[in-house]
Amino acid sequence: MAEQDDVISPGIDLGQRIKILRKSAGLTQQQVADALGVSRPAIAFWETGREGSARKHIPKLAALFNVDPEIFLTGYVQEDIELVITPDEHDVIRLYRMLDPSRKVSAQKWLERQARMARQSD
């Protein structure tokens, strides 16, 4: 089981997912860059976890790789899980689901920072 300090940044996950999908599609970084209208170094930057502007390109990446945009955020497509949550957790989930994919990444990063600060203050 992973320690709390081993949380992987959503940006790193996003970069890994882009790289895996690119390689699975048999595309070079240059081909992906050309398809998105960005530079090849931008793709390399994203794939190494330094997110940059990758978030705003999620819809185009999803179309290029013919996948659901959610795959870039979670690694999974929609999965319904039954669990008991508190009313405030329900509100957070409801609001999160209203966000577009790029804003979901921002929300995940914000929550990650908040959790890290809470662990440091304990």
Evaluate if residue 85 carries a pLDDT over 50.
yes
Distance of CA 78 to the CA centre of its chain: 14
Query: Considering the domain 14-74 in this protein, what is its CATH number?
Result: 1.10.260.40
Domains of the chain, by residue range, sit at 14-74, 87-120
Are 48 and 17 spatial neighbours (Cβ–Cβ below 8 Å)? Answer: no
Q: Tell me the per-residue pLDDT of 7-19, one tens digit each, with 9 for 90 and over.
A: 445 555 888 888 8
Question: pTM of whole model > 0.75?
Answer: no
CA distances from 85 to 57, 63, 80 (A): 33, 34, 14
